[in-house]
Structure 1
Amino acid sequence: MALAERLRISPGVPLLLAAFVWLASPLLLGAILSAAVCHELGHWLVLRRVGGRIQRLHITVFGAEMQVDDRRISYGGELLTAAAGPVSNLLLAAAMGLLGRWWEPLYLFAGAQLVLGAFNLLPALPLDGGRILWLALAWLTEPYTAQRVLSAVSLAVSLALLLGGGWFIWRQGGSPFLLVGAVGLTGWNLREIKLAKGG
């Protein structure tokens, strides 16, 4: 399969990178990109370990969406794969935070790892936390119920993040990137609910 067929990059990714270059420092951009790479490597390493293979990779503003081959992976294997990205970020955040005493820029890299790991654990699709919640619910009940519960939780989390992020920026100022992420999450979840209803 050709590289162009296996790798697809959303048009929003270059725009997001350009916004980071314009609004933030090159060091911050490096910290965020390195956290994203470590996150996806965590997923990939565990996916390989549980017997999965990536057929296609779609890079979006929310990260990378991996299309796995048709091999059957257990709920446990999928759950481990979904958790591996955020867990790798959190472990690296702790390690870099400790090493920051000797080289101060590592605190920035630790912060990027921490924010990306924690954000991805939110129980909202298309984040890893949403996938983890769906897998746990599907294992305890069945996929249809899991999807209905997750849709409601996911929309509630994205709306809370949108309102909370807007309030925080209005009261405290600061970077709009959290708000941009919240808008994207809310839009994604509203679109998924509309598609599920056949609209």
Structure 2
Amino acid sequence: MHFYIKSTRIDLGFPFAASAAVILMLDKSGTALLVFLCCALHEAGHILLLSLCSAPPDAIILGVFGMRIERGEVCLDYRREAVCALAGPAANFIVSLAALPFARVYPNVLKLADLSAGIGVFNLLPVEPMDGAAALKSLLLLKYEERTADKIVDIFAAVLLIPLTVCGIILLIKTGNNFTLLCVCIYISVYLIAKKRTA
């Protein structure tokens, strides 16, 4: 199913709808709904900045693994690319700060603030496919060639992934059931390996 918002096509696939429905039904704490909201606001930050830079996305695709933005033919300079990459985490931090005054009265609002801040911080990691890596590469391209910029980003990824994976394993051992961080590290590792093979 797809529809349009101005010139941007919104693709809502059945796998996304089905997986979201299953997650929401299985989640009894209400956390999943808050995570979806934080992720939607995160992507809205990207879309807003792209639109303000006169480069609205061609399509927004909702799939099993989240939302993907397909860019149009408009090319931004490296500084604006970096700003647009950081707009998602910035949106999360704004939501988190805006929610804090209401946290004492509404416990779920405190959870929203924590989740939004966590998603913002996580997306700032300079590891592909995170926003931090996109922003870092854009800034590096102001001074270096693309090959050099890619190598620097890869070094950051290698340096960060090892301790993150170790933390994920420790977290799983200590809690016995929290494998979120470990799964994310595995996903990022698979993404980077697949990218190298197709490069």
Category of TM-score, reference length = shorter chain? 0.7 to 0.9
**Partner SS, residue 142 of structure 2:** helix
- Could you say what the CA RMSD is over the residues aligned between the two structures, in angstroms? 2.6
When the two structures are aligned, how many residues end up with a matched partner?
194
Q: What is the CA–CA distance in structure 2 between the aligned matches of 1:155 and 1:10, rounded to whole Å?
A: 35
Matching residue of 1:28: 31
| Residue 62 of structure 1, CA deviation | 5.5
Q: Encode CA deviations 1:135-189: one digit per residue, 9 max, x unaligned.
A: 1111121222111221232244234322221122212445222222111111111
Identity %: 21
Per the normalisation by structure 1, the TM-score is 0.84
Q: Encode CA deviations 1:63-97: one digit per residue, 9 max, x unaligned.
A: 43212111121111111111010011012112212
Q: What is the CA–CA distance in structure 2 between the aligned matches of 1:173 and 1:144, rounded to whole Å?
A: 42
Change (3 A) 1:166 1:156: same
Runs of 4+ in 1 over 3 A off after TM superposition: 2-6, 8-21, 58-63
Change (3 A) 1:149 1:16: farther
Unaligned runs of 5+ in 1: none
Per the normalisation by structure 2, the TM-score is 0.84
On the 8 A contact 1:39/1:86 being kept in 2, the answer is yes
Matching residue of 1:7: 11
Unaligned runs of 5+ in 2: none
Matching residue of 2:193: 190
Q: Does 1:162 align with 2:165?
A: yes
Equivalent positions of 1:141-180 (< 5 A) are: 141-180=144-183
Q: Encode CA deviations 1:26-76: one digit per residue, 9 max, x unaligned.
A: 510111011011101111111111111211223356643212111121111
Change (3 A) 1:20 1:36: same
Structure 1 counterpart of 2:130, from 108, 127, 131: 127
**Partner SS, residue 72 of structure 1:** coil
On the 8 A contact 1:10/1:58 being kept in 2, the answer is no
